[in-house]
Structure 1
């Protein structure tokens, strides 16, 4: 990057941290530290909720997801407005009535302390893992692109977040997330405009969308029911709804955002703002990825987007093989570029016959191009067994670094760092709060002063931050970063949601029954995932989004069965 880009990047990050520390320097009590003073407006709550979910993975992975798989990922968010309505109607009033610091306090009043601590413990496990991933995911890519060591990038992100999160607590997270959202969305909109402007003369947004459509990248809705399909309308309206109910309704990193509202109405409006704006936001990010795909139909992309790994492969005995494959890849691309030109010409002339011919030829060439890319991935893995052979998450930033003008590159890197900081700060804030309220105050030191708990919260937040940095330094990549986060959530969230659904709607089920149901349900969900990973034939395959509905319903049913058995034994 140029010196101007570095100045843009670091001035943006330092400015956000300094603002967060200065704006929230008055947090003197545990209440103001954990709940932010209960004075946030609905729009601040909405922005904070969106920023918490919009991690760096969103901006790194989602455009790459669209580049390789089209728009169908948007279906994951179709159920979000439904989940926001359910939470606003059923979850929020209970939290406000009890004036809880964490969502899990309610479970003790409904069940008992062991159920509360089980739910809190499951949260700490999955959110602790996620905190490491939200640091690691951008770090491994940014370290490669910026020429830094992975540990150095982890430290930069982790330390910046720890400074203002430990200093100001919930209010610091909310205040900084307003600036971070402005940087994130402003940067992505600028990138989207520049992608379109980078297309060849005579190819505008209309032609680009037609090209994308003919190459099956505008596959927004799929009504085919398929349990093995991760992203279709039905998984978005069932499995994803359960995931969103768990995440926004029972995950402390989100609950803490809207419990800082001035009133129940303000919190509800903040949730509904998220439900209405999140889908368009994801749509914009996916469209940018599709436009990057169209750009690379006219400009030759690398056969493998992680250039650092490719440079290392070229130093091995596979160098000649790679050179031969890249030569063939160039030949295919030149044919494809000609076919794209023919398609554009046919589209502009509204020539249906030639449109169909150009589309068929172009898609055949695209399949050949993908086959070459897949072959390169096998070569990369053979040459460097410890390297990551999946390059999806490098696609967008490769375009940024090699195409966009000076200054904008630094802004887009600031987007990625800001997103990493916004989601990580919420996670650390929630981890520190849950550890303090649900474990330390409840079991270890129940009679200490308010100042003691305030300092304890800061120390626990700092400790989780350090653990997240350490964990991030020992992670390895999943198939795709955004899928990694959703998978971890889908393994643990349904159990917590099942406990809360029983608590809200099924008074017949008591504490021991739901506790055993949760333990059994968690074991079954993990076992089903294990079966999916070893079932090569696909007979037992279940897309991980379906775990959310499956696990939640399982906990409820097991709770009923166990409670019924217990009742029968007592009557006998």
Structure 2
């Protein structure tokens, strides 16, 4: 990295953190600390909601997902806009009427304390673990590509976020996330423009899309119904709808963002803004990944994008075999490049037979490239302690550091760190508020002063920050990073959503039945994950249906609690 890149990176992060601390330095009341004193405007909440969901994994792993698998991941978000409408109509009025600090407070008034505590516990478990991944993911990738120290990077992200979240609470999170979101969107838009400008002189955006389409990367919609397929229209609309309903309606990291709205209308507009903007934003991020794929059709990519792991192979007795694979990979690349240039020429001259012939040559070259890649991945797994990591998580940052001009590298790295900080800050704040409101205040110290609970919130923020940092230091990757977080969420969100659905819409159900239905459902979901191949998005629907159905079955069998 150049001095200019370091200046852009450090200056951007420092300004955002100091601005957030300065704007919220006098926050002392519990209402202000946990609910922003109900002063947030709709656009501020919309940006904060988006920044909470858009972790560093979004900007590192999603372009790699598109590079490897095309645009079909966009279907994951198709159910989100509908979920925002449903939550605006149903959940927000209830939360505002009860003036709750967390979503789980409502469950005690509707059911009982143990049901409230169970939902809060499931949230704390899921969010505490996933926050460790949101810290670990950018840290390990930055370490592998830039040579930064892994422990130091994890500590930097975790400690800085803990600091400004402790100082200002929800207000600090919202203030910083506005700036972070601006940096993230601006950086990705700049990356998309620069990638197109780096393509050969005779290749513009239309030609790039033609190459991407021929390579099967513009697979936006898949109409086939397959419960084992993670990304198709039906899993996105149905499974994605229930995941979004649970995440935005019951996860305190999101509920806490819109509970601070000035009015119900402001909070509704904030959620609807997220529903309208989120899908185009993800489309842009995926498009950047597709454009990077097109770039590497004209310029030779590395055999393996995780250079740290490749270096481990080169330092072993397998080095000659690795170099042979690199030579073979370069030869295949030249074949594919020639076929791609022929495709571009045929596209520009509207030569359909020429396009088909070039496409066939590209597919043959791609099949050979995949065979070489499989051999390389086997060597990586053998000489990296048996770890089989998907190097597509490293594609985008490799491109950024090797191909982008000075200054823009620092900006894109700032995008990654801003995303990590924004989502982590929301998680710390929500973990602390849930612990204080649903556990500490409710069951341990019910009659303490407002100032005491603010101090307790600050200490619990520090505690959860330490737990997440500890988990990040010992975490290991699960498949593609963006999928790892979504899988972890889907294991718990269906059960939590089922509890809330029962509370909102099934007035005959009582707390005892719902509590045990939720316990059984969570066990069943774990068993399904362990022993079946059902795509994880469906766990959200299955969990929701199970909680409600088992609740009705169990209610006649259980006596009402005393």
Could you say whether these structures have the same fold, taking a TM-score greater than 0.5 normalized by the shorter chain as the test? yes
1:76 matches 2:76: yes
* Partners of 2:387 and 2:492 in 1: CA distance: 28
Per-residue Cα deviation, 1:53-91 (whole angstroms, up to 9, x for no partner): 000000000000000000000000111110000100111
* Partners of 1:488 and 1:383 in 2: CA distance: 28
Match of 2:539 in 1: 547
User: How do residues 275-424 of structure 1 correspond to structure 2 at under 5 angstroms?
Assistant: 275-424=275-424
* Partners of 2:15 and 2:450 in 1: CA distance: 31
Match of 2:20 in 1: 20
1:265 matches 2:257: no
* Partners of 2:361 and 2:208 in 1: CA distance: 17
User: How do residues 88-487 of structure 1 correspond to structure 2 at under 5 angstroms?
Assistant: 88-487=88-487
| Helix, strand or coil at the partner of 2:335 | helix
CA offset at residue 145 of structure 1?
2.0
Alpha-carbon contact 2:389-2:477 (below 8 Å) kept: no
Q: State the TM-score, normalizing by the size of structure 1.
A: 0.97
CA offset at residue 565 of structure 1?
3.1
* Partners of 1:384 and 1:38 in 2: CA distance: 51
Alpha-carbon contact 1:132-1:469 (below 8 Å) kept: yes
CA offset at residue 564 of structure 1?
3.1
Per-residue Cα deviation, 1:155-188 (whole angstroms, up to 9, x for no partner): 1101110111000000000000000001101011
* Partners of 2:371 and 2:433 in 1: CA distance: 49
Q: State the TM-score, normalizing by the size of structure 2.
A: 0.99
Alpha-carbon contact 1:309-1:387 (below 8 Å) kept: no
* Partners of 1:382 and 1:311 in 2: CA distance: 13
Alpha-carbon contact 2:389-2:479 (below 8 Å) kept: no
| Helix, strand or coil at the partner of 2:37 | coil
CA offset at residue 235 of structure 1?
0.3
Structure 1 regions of 5+ residues with no counterpart? 533-540
CA offset at residue 4 of structure 1?
1.3
* Partners of 1:386 and 1:336 in 2: CA distance: 31
CA offset at residue 388 of structure 1?
4.5
* Partners of 2:558 and 2:55 in 1: CA distance: 44
Per-residue Cα deviation, 1:194-225 (whole angstroms, up to 9, x for no partner): 00000001100000001100110000000000
* Partners of 1:321 and 1:389 in 2: CA distance: 20
1:86 matches 2:86: yes
Per-residue Cα deviation, 1:227-276 (whole angstroms, up to 9, x for no partner): 01000000011011000000000000000000000000000000000000
Match of 2:514 in 1: 514
* Partners of 1:418 and 1:237 in 2: CA distance: 29
Alpha-carbon contact 1:48-1:174 (below 8 Å) kept: yes
* Partners of 2:302 and 2:544 in 1: CA distance: 43
CA offset at residue 566 of structure 1?
3.6
* Partners of 1:386 and 1:449 in 2: CA distance: 54
Alpha-carbon contact 1:259-1:267 (below 8 Å) kept: yes
| Helix, strand or coil at the partner of 1:36 | helix
* Partners of 1:60 and 1:388 in 2: CA distance: 18
- Shift in alpha-carbon separation, 1:389–1:131, aligned structure 2, 3 A: closer
Alpha-carbon contact 2:512-2:558 (below 8 Å) kept: no
| Helix, strand or coil at the partner of 1:37 | helix
Per-residue Cα deviation, 1:326-374 (whole angstroms, up to 9, x for no partner): 1111111110000001101111110111111111110121121122112
CA offset at residue 375 of structure 1?
1.4
Match of 2:36 in 1: 36
Q: CA RMSD in A?
A: 1.1
* Partners of 2:315 and 2:472 in 1: CA distance: 28
* Partners of 1:196 and 1:411 in 2: CA distance: 18
CA offset at residue 309 of structure 1?
1.4
Alpha-carbon contact 1:17-1:163 (below 8 Å) kept: no
CA offset at residue 20 of structure 1?
0.6
CA offset at residue 386 of structure 1?
4.7
* Partners of 2:230 and 2:259 in 1: CA distance: 32
CA offset at residue 14 of structure 1?
1.0
| Helix, strand or coil at the partner of 2:38 | coil
| Helix, strand or coil at the partner of 1:385 | coil
Match of 1:536 in 2: none
Match of 2:60 in 1: 60
* Partners of 1:41 and 1:383 in 2: CA distance: 53
Structure 2 regions of 5+ residues with no counterpart? none
* Partners of 2:85 and 2:31 in 1: CA distance: 27
* Partners of 2:14 and 2:527 in 1: CA distance: 45
Alpha-carbon contact 1:88-1:268 (below 8 Å) kept: yes
Aligned residues: 561
